[in-house]
Amino acid sequence: MSDTNYAVIYDLHSHTTASDGCLTPEALVHRAVEMRVGTLAITDHDTTAAIAPAREEISRSGLALNLIPGVEISTVWENHEIHIVGLNIDITHPLMCEFLAQQTERRNQRAQLIAERLEKAQIPGALEGAQRLAQGGAVTRGHFARFLVECGKASSMADVFKKYLARGKTGYVPPQWCTIEQAIDVIHHSGGKAVLAHPGRYNLSAKWLKRLVAHFAEHHGDAMEVAQCQQSPQ
* More confident of the two residues 69 and 139: 69
So where are the chain's domains? 3-224
The confidence score (pLDDT) of residue 137 equals: 84
Give the CA-trace dihedral at 178, 184, 186, 191, to 10 degrees: 160
Cβ neighbours, 10 Å, residue 158: 11
- Cα gap 70→44, rounded to integer Å: 7
Averaged pLDDT, 62-67: 98
Q: What's the pTM value of the predicted model, to 2 decimals? A: 0.88
Q: What is the mean pLDDT of the chain?
A: 93
Averaged pLDDT, 106-123: 96
pLDDT digits (tens, 9 = 90+) for 6-17: 678 999 999 999
What is 3-224's CATH topology?
TIM Barrel (3.20.20)
User: If we measure between CA atoms, which residue out of 230, 226, 221, 212 comes closest to residue 81?
Assistant: 212
On whether the CB atoms of residues 101 and 74 are closer than 8 A, the answer is no
Query: Binning pLDDT at 50, 70 and 90, where does residue 1 land?
Result: very low
